[in-house]
Structure 1
Amino acid sequence: MREETAVPPVIDTHAHFVPAYFPAGSGRTPLWPAMEHRADGQAAIVIGGKPFRVLTPANWDVPARLAEMTAQGIDRQVLSPMPELLSHWFPADDADDLCRYMNDSLAAMIAAAPDRLSGIGMVPVQDPARATRRLAEIKALGLRGIELGSHVDGVALGDPRFDELYATAEDLDLCLMIHPLHPAGKDRLPGHPALAAAAAFPLDTALAGASLLSAGIPARFPRLRIMLCHGGGALPWILPRLDRVWSLGGPLGAVFPERPSAMARRFFYDSVVYDPVTLRYIADALGEDRIVIGSDFPFVIQQDQPGDFAAGVLPAAALSRAALAFLGLPAEHGG
């Protein structure tokens, strides 16, 4: 942790975790996750009977995570579930059980280092009424909000069935983190599965953002804080096109209740874009005060030294203020 209070803290808002173990999957969906720990200290997370990803101890071990955070120059990190664990495709009962276990595991990690860690949990959004009820538990655990996939098993995030969830999150002062998941277009990207994550994730985030804008979510829930991961994916680049549609008026213009780019400036965007020119464009288009530091830690694709990268483009103080604003945290939580 920085001792000089004048130095803005580096707050990494986009980092993931996986617990060391999961409850037994007997009697549950065949996709229930399990962990296979290895002699080298790593573990494979197994989903549907197949290894999904090999994980380092920093996913679940707080001292290991803190050591890596220090090496990466990160003062505070906001943990959220590995996206595949959001399980929007599970039966609702199984999803609810997994969500509650993940949230409890996350709260325990934060309790081990509350001056360095914060958290964003998960709820069973395939059952919007139940998910809405669970938001009070998220709040009671001290978590700052929830993570959502870019769609809920094919249902767009702008669908009216989620309105009550958004309204309750707004009332409870909880934020939403939108992460791409099971993107459209995978059938057109044959080959290594990583190609879908590299090429289709940004496109799916743009679809999610366009859905939220078309539904007028930023306008109808003005106090609801929403972050689109990976710099909003392709959304910043297609906003001029969406604005053009809106400006035409008539049936085309009615697709959006307000100018899309104006509504999009109410979202937050993380800095996981790897290229300073790209980050500068997003900040110019959507506002420096909407950009937060992110890393995608602790996965291979992570942005190294995320604070230095983002601060090479934007003022460090602005990045810190934006993170605290997104999380709804007072200044003293920054570092």
Structure 2
Amino acid sequence: MSGNGVDVHTHLAPVLDRVYTVDGPPGLGDPARLERHLDGAGLAGAIVSVPPPYYRQDLTGDDGVAWAAAVNAGLATRIEGYPRLRALAFLPLHDPAAALRAYQGIQDGAWVGVVAGAGGRCPSLADPAFEPLWRALDADGRALMLHPAHSPDHRLADFYLHNLLGNPVETAVAAAQLVLGNVLARHPGLKVVLVHGGGAVPALAGRWARGVETARPGVPEQELGVRDALRRFWVDGLTHDAMMARALVELFGADKVLLGSDWPFPMGADDPAAALNACPALAGAGIAAKAATTNAAAAFGWSGE
């Protein structure tokens, strides 16, 4: 094993008994190849989750719970024998009751957290139906990674916009629901991780705060200021842009930035520290090293050691 620290945003396909085909990039079913990525990035370990095609937002109730159990068992099988890899258990967040049941079924220390699809067919995360799940995650201190599901907006069919625009927007919508819906204020132990540099959140934080300040219609009184609430999130540094990487540190805090590559997808990065290190101020402060170690340990309880 070489390197130090953790890449918190990587994907592997689960091993499934049933027939379910997903077209994915090379390596999606190859944990050894993921370990070679870690060697190239100078990292000790990776946190893996299933990619969005496995979210199956068409399945609800018992079917959704059964699918989550199969996917999670399959991911555990995929990484068996690879101690450098730890996994996030999938929750069918598009069905709040099913998500809670799925969560109750993975009370196992082998999981360093959970992952769920933001957006798509998912109801508002401020919906009271989610409160039992938020209470459970709050009490356990187990991190929830929100990864965008496929956007339902038909206008994004052209120009790969479902990914280039839809993914960042779905993340921002989910974050706004948690912030403006006072979910984070009600659950101080709830740990939420946003991927892809927080999506569109950094560009919208000021607008959200202004909406609160001017008491816009439908915006409830905030129990926690918008900027204070945003500092409750962890966020990976996958911005592909040094200027935006600096914005992450300024908005979320240096202690809340993580390393994430989105391996093995083309929109990811071979070197998850690159954007952070491309900014002289962040490189000089050793932000990338902290993101991979101390911050990863705070979010997921694991820094690759």
Q: Give the CA RMSD over aligned residues.
A: 2.2
Taking the aligned partners of 2:221 and 2:155, their CA distance within structure 1 comes to 28
* Residue number among 191, 198, 216 corresponding to 2:158 in the alignment: 191
Pick closer, same or farther for the CA change 1:145–1:227 going to 2, 3 Å. Answer: same
**Residues 196-253 of structure 1 deviation map (CA, whole Å, 9 limit, x = unaligned):** 1011211121111111112212211111110111111111111111111222358666
Worse overlay, 249-258 or 309-318:
249-258
**Residues 116-166 of structure 1 deviation map (CA, whole Å, 9 limit, x = unaligned):** 111111123344334323324323161122212113614112211111111
Any conservation in 1 of the 2:57–2:121 contact (CA below 8 Å)? yes
1:256 paired with 2:225, answer no
Taking the aligned partners of 1:229 and 1:202, their CA distance within structure 2 comes to 9
Tell me which amino acid in the other structure corresponds to 2:123. V
Taking the aligned partners of 1:240 and 1:250, their CA distance within structure 2 comes to 14
Any conservation in 1 of the 2:246–2:276 contact (CA below 8 Å)? no
Any conservation in 1 of the 2:60–2:95 contact (CA below 8 Å)? no
Any conservation in 2 of the 1:73–1:307 contact (CA below 8 Å)? no
1:71 paired with 2:65, answer no
Pick closer, same or farther for the CA change 1:154–1:226 going to 2, 3 Å. Answer: closer
Tell me which amino acid in the other structure corresponds to 2:45. R
Pick closer, same or farther for the CA change 1:191–1:60 going to 2, 3 Å. Answer: same
Pick closer, same or farther for the CA change 1:273–1:308 going to 2, 3 Å. Answer: closer
Taking the aligned partners of 2:228 and 2:136, their CA distance within structure 1 comes to 24
1:302 paired with 2:271, answer no
Worse overlay, 254-263 or 213-222:
254-263
Taking the aligned partners of 1:250 and 1:69, their CA distance within structure 2 comes to 46
Tell me which amino acid in the other structure corresponds to 1:301. M
Any conservation in 1 of the 2:230–2:252 contact (CA below 8 Å)? yes
Tell me which amino acid in the other structure corresponds to 1:217. V
Q: Which residue of 1 aligns with 2:17?
A: 23
Pairwise mapping of residues 258-297 of structure 1 onto structure 2 (< 5 A)? 258-297=224-263
In terms of Rg, which structure is larger? Answer: 1
Taking the aligned partners of 1:253 and 1:302, their CA distance within structure 2 comes to 35
Q: Which residue of 2 aligns with 1:324?
A: 297
Q: Which residue of 1 aligns with 2:7?
A: 12
Say which SS state the counterpart of residue 145 (structure 1) adopts.
strand
Any conservation in 2 of the 1:214–1:257 contact (CA below 8 Å)? no
Taking the aligned partners of 1:321 and 1:80, their CA distance within structure 2 comes to 21
Taking the aligned partners of 1:83 and 1:309, their CA distance within structure 2 comes to 24
Taking the aligned partners of 1:90 and 1:159, their CA distance within structure 2 comes to 19
Any conservation in 2 of the 1:218–1:267 contact (CA below 8 Å)? no
Taking the aligned partners of 1:64 and 1:286, their CA distance within structure 2 comes to 32
Taking the aligned partners of 2:40 and 2:62, their CA distance within structure 1 comes to 40
Pairwise mapping of residues 62-101 of structure 1 onto structure 2 (< 5 A)? 62-101=31-70
1:156 paired with 2:151, answer no
Say which SS state the counterpart of residue 126 (structure 2) adopts.
coil
Say which SS state the counterpart of residue 324 (structure 1) adopts.
helix
Tell me which amino acid in the other structure corresponds to 1:81. V
Tell me which amino acid in the other structure corresponds to 1:191. D
Any conservation in 1 of the 2:261–2:269 contact (CA below 8 Å)? yes
Any conservation in 1 of the 2:9–2:259 contact (CA below 8 Å)? yes
Taking the aligned partners of 1:94 and 1:62, their CA distance within structure 2 comes to 28
Any conservation in 2 of the 1:150–1:208 contact (CA below 8 Å)? yes
Taking the aligned partners of 2:129 and 2:82, their CA distance within structure 1 comes to 37
Any conservation in 2 of the 1:232–1:269 contact (CA below 8 Å)? yes
Worse overlay, 127-136 or 207-216:
127-136
Where do 5+ consecutive residues of structure 1 fail to align?
A: 4-8, 26-32, 35-44, 46-52
Q: Which residue of 2 aligns with 1:54?
A: 24
Q: Which residue of 1 aligns with 2:146?
A: 178
Pick closer, same or farther for the CA change 1:201–1:152 going to 2, 3 Å. Answer: closer
Q: Which residue of 2 aligns with 1:42?
A: none
Say which SS state the counterpart of residue 176 (structure 1) adopts.
strand
Worse overlay, 132-141 or 98-107:
132-141
Normalising by structure 1, report the TM-score: 0.81
Any conservation in 2 of the 1:150–1:181 contact (CA below 8 Å)? yes
Shift of 1:255: 5.1
Question: Identity, % of aligned pairs?
Answer: 28
Q: Which residue of 2 aligns with 1:206?
A: 172
Pick closer, same or farther for the CA change 1:228–1:250 going to 2, 3 Å. Answer: closer
Q: Which residue of 2 aligns with 1:29?
A: none
